[in-house]
Structure 1
Amino acid sequence: MIDRPVRIGLQLQPQHMDYATIRRVASEAEDLGADVLFNWDHFYPLSGEPDGLHFECWTMLAAWAESTSRVEIGALVTCNSYRNPELLADMARTVDHISDGRLILGIGSGWFERDYTEYGYEFGTAGGRLDDLAESLPRIESRWGRLNPPPTRKIPVLIGGGGEKKTLRLVAKHADIWHSFADAETLEHKLGVLRGHCETAGRDPSEIEVSVAYKADSRERLHELGARLFTVGVGGPEPDLAELRQALTWRNDVNK
């Protein structure tokens, strides 16, 4: 059994603000003591003005790799559909090196139809996109083993989503971190399903860090269930880090 401390992430949603603001808030989050800094992999805002300011995920992660020095960085989550898996593996390896080993590869099957249609990707079906993810994950892992230089460490893979038949099976086989937006009751059920997939895969489920959205009113129950990475989400135009400060105080108390 792996005993993990609570960690706090910030998902700095790259929408409705200029890059100077994004860079400033990223640095502030690191200075406050956040453990992980996430963005997301979309091409348009997910809330507010649909055609508002927005920036691309992976070029931003490379910039964060240079502008930060301590926090882990990653996407919550990368859309598997948007990049060839070998290319994505190489991109992740490169950002891993730029950051001196601080990258988390967050990945999911994709869902935001406008991204697909506007950028020329085939949207298909949810099941088909999950099948594509299942094909891509071994290719990413294989490419990491062939790159020169190799990654600086075993890059942690975070898989997002809660589908019980396909997604959680992939989590059991490939993930170091599983992210869910579920409430406590749903999370308890999903963890039972995940344990079943881990048993089938011959894997200890405690090897997988459980990641959730930070919710002040349910954080203790989520923690009791096994969640250890709690992420606060903020977007533009003026990100408010008050909830991040609250979460960090709670983390420090829990980890004493």
Structure 2
Amino acid sequence: MTTPDPTSALPTSPTSPTRPARPVRVGLQIQPQHGSYDQIRRTADAAERLGVDVLFTWDHFFPLSGDPDGLHFECWTTLAAWAEQTERVELGALVTCNSYRAPDLLADMARTVDHISAGRLILGIGAGWFQRDYDEYGYEFGTPGRRLDDLATAMPRIRARWAALNPPPTRDIPVLIGGGGERKTLRIVAEHAQVWHSFADAAELARKSAVLDRWCAEVGREPGEIERSVSVRRASGPGDEAQALLAAGATLFVAETTGPEHDLAGLAAWVEWRDRQNELRTA
């Protein structure tokens, strides 16, 4: 049976009438590189006090910028620590590399952090891409297509393990899948995710969101079941870019901060912008 090509006959509108009006949310990725863990802990505290909705780390073993052998900390032990440290924010990886842990083990780890946090974990996951991680930790790098196939195979195993665990997760753990590949990644998103994360600008986000809508139709899901999330790197806070991304369908906006200082300049402006947008949506 031939798989339909979602890039043909795309919807003419980047949005769908079936999508609900979601609240706007703000996340922060605290990149665990070049700083002490004490600084990371204090940054997480400060971000929660400022009012962000979600805290993210990333799942790498080495820095992605600056000194490639600089200070760095592991993803899931950090998430467990944040789960104890924080009280309100949701937590997750942006994103966990599917290749680094067996799916059943990852499911159990996620279930445990879900309980530690009293139901605040988001399972952010992707196929992986940073070859140094693979080479130095002994994982097979393979090809992008193979890694995506492995991710598609892992998702049902993760959900099956959640159903088998005692105790089970405290809630239906939301799955965030990152990436923008139109033939494979967005189909996996349509089948398994509650959140799709992109690094696109507004025009690309709208176009790829339309492809995701088409995949949703192919697999029998409502597009509105999947929140659109996007990384924003504007340090000084939102501007015209944020409004364009919002118009393109994004509702979760993820800023980033990196070591050694983990500067939060501009984060309060993002939170204030979020609150204004939500007031407008409920007016």
1:152 partner amino acid: T
TM-score (norm. length: structure 1): 0.99
Question: d(CA) in 2 for partners of 1:83 and 1:41?
Answer: 11
**How far apart are the structure 2 equivalents of 1:189 and 1:224?**
12
Give the alignment partner of residue 248 of structure 2, picking from 225, 244, 251. 225
- Could you tell me which of 173, 183, 200 is aligned with 2:191? 173
Q: Partner amino acid for 1:238?
A: E
Is 1:135 equivalent to 2:153 in the alignment?
Answer: yes
For 1:49-60, list aligned pairs within 5 A. 49-60=67-78
Distance in 1 (CA, whole Å) between partners of 2:118 and 2:20 is 25
Partner residue in 2 for 1:40: 58
**Could you tell me whether the CA contact under 8 Å between 2:28 and 2:254 is conserved in 1?**
yes
Corresponding residue for residue 6 of structure 2: none
For this pair of structures, how many residues does the alignment match? 256
Letter of the structure 2 residue corresponding to residue 247 of structure 1:
W
- Report the Cα distance in structure 2 between the residues aligned to 1:74 and 1:243, rounded to whole angstroms: 22
1:200-239 correspondence runs (5 A): 200-214=218-232, 215=234, 216=238, 217-239=240-262
Question: 92, 100, 104: which one pairs with 1:74?
Answer: 92
Q: How big is each residue's C-alpha offset from its partner over 1:112-142, in whole Å with a ceiling of 9 and x where there is no partner?
A: 0000000000000000100000000010011
Q: Which of the two has higher C-alpha Rg?
A: 2
Q: Which amino acid aligns with 2:259?
A: G
Q: Deviating runs (4+, > 2 A) in structure 1?
A: 214-217
TM-score by length of structure 2 reads 0.89
Structure 1 residue matching 2:118: 3-state secondary structure = coil
Q: 2:13 is matched with which residue? A: none
Q: Deviations over 1:204-234 (max 9, x none)?
A: 0011000001253411011011100000010
Q: Gaps spanning 5+ residues in structure 1: where? A: none
Give the structure 2 partner of residue 101 of structure 1: 119
Match for 1:162: what amino acid? G
> Residues 146-166 of structure 1, C-alpha deviation per residue, up to 9 Å, x if partnerless?
000000000000000000000
| Aligned counterpart in structure 1 of residue 164 of structure 2, from 146, 157, 174 | 146
How much does 1:243 deviate? 2.1
1:249 matches 2:272: yes
Q: Percent identity?
A: 67
Q: Which runs of 5+ in 2 are unaligned?
A: 1-18
SS in 2 for 1:255: helix
* Counterpart secondary structure, 2:49: helix
Indicate conservation of the 8 Å contact 1:232/1:243, yes or no: no
